[in-house]
Structures are given as C-alpha cells and as structure tokens.
Amino acid sequence: MAKKIAVFASGNGSNFQVIAEQFPVAFVFADHRDAYVLERAKNLGVKSYAFELKEFDCKEDYEAAIIDLLSKHAIDLVVLAGYMKIVGPTLLSAYEGRIINIHPAYLPEFPGAHGIEDAWQAGVDQSGVTIHWVDSGVDTGQVIKQVRVPRLADDTIETFEARIHENEYQLYPQVLESLGVGRK
C-alpha cells in the first residue's frame, strides 16, 4: 500500500506544489498562518492546517499538536519542503525514520537556513540539492539522494538559485516514489 504523506512548509510552497501535483497529499502544515503555501493548498484542493509556535506555551506542546494531526490522518511519511523550524525531540521521537527534508545545497556543504546564499558567497563552482532523513542535528541526517548543480560563469545568484530549485522539483518526486509514495 502506498505511503500516506503530509508536507510541511513555512513560506512559498513551490516544492509542495510540485509534490501535490504528482502525489496524493493528505494535508499541508504551515508554521505561519500567512504562508503562501496555504493558498497553493487551497487552489489544489489539499487540506491545510496552520498554527504558530508562539501560540503555545512551549515547543513540546507545539509539536504535540503536530503529532495529533499526523496521528489523526495516519501519516506514514512527513515531507519537509521549506519548513524552517528545527524538528525538536518531541516530534522526532514520535516520527523518527519517517521525516525527510530537502536542502538547497550538497550536504554536508552549507547546512542551515541559507544554503544557496552561503554557497554563492563562498564562490564555489558547484553546489547542489540534498534529500535526507531528519535527525536531531541541523541537516545532518543520512542522505537519501543528492544532485550537483554547477555554478555557471554568467550566473547571477538569481539564476543559480533558479537552477537549484529546478533540480529540487525533479529530485523530490524521484525520492518520494523510491520511498513507496504512490503517484496520482
């Protein structure tokens, strides 16, 4: 039986859109009530939920509310797609081995929130995209699949970033399929 997925995002949701156009998504979760991903979900007919950490007394309570959503929908795999919160011990212990993340750099190079900008500033001739299992570190989980993206001589940061995102849009569906997520 195909795995049931939920996608977590914090902002624009372009990776969510690519995923939702190809795979059934049980719901999208946004950690910002005004995240554009919620509009994308509405337009695609995908159920969505949003609440913010500041609405809870502590991160444990916030993550317990997320676990309740995941349990209610019987989610097999959590797909982080631009989710900019570090997964804490509460969520990680409940879903360890069932959370994947996409990172816009070739890990272990340039972990953290600004992988593209950090690679650009470092002047590297290539960076990449990594999809990995989430662990207790920041972008340190076991790599599932990676692809290199060259930095071309005439690149601007905008063209370099656009090519990295295009590679994300190709890589995530490949990985989801390889992990047993059935296509629409």
Buried/exposed 58-96: b ≥16 CB within 10 Å, e otherwise: eeeebbeebeeebeeeebbbbbbbbbebebbebbbebbe
Nearest-5° angle of CA 177, CA 18, CA 146? 55
* Nearby residues of 71 by Cβ (< 8 Å), 6 or more positions away: none
CB 28 within 8 A of CB 83: no
CB 8 within 8 A of CB 80: yes
73 carries an active-site annotation: no
CB 135 within 8 A of CB 92: yes
CB 146 within 8 A of CB 168: no
Catalytic residue among 32, 103, 132, 165: 103
Nearest to 132 by CA among 103, 163, 168: 103
Active site residues: 103
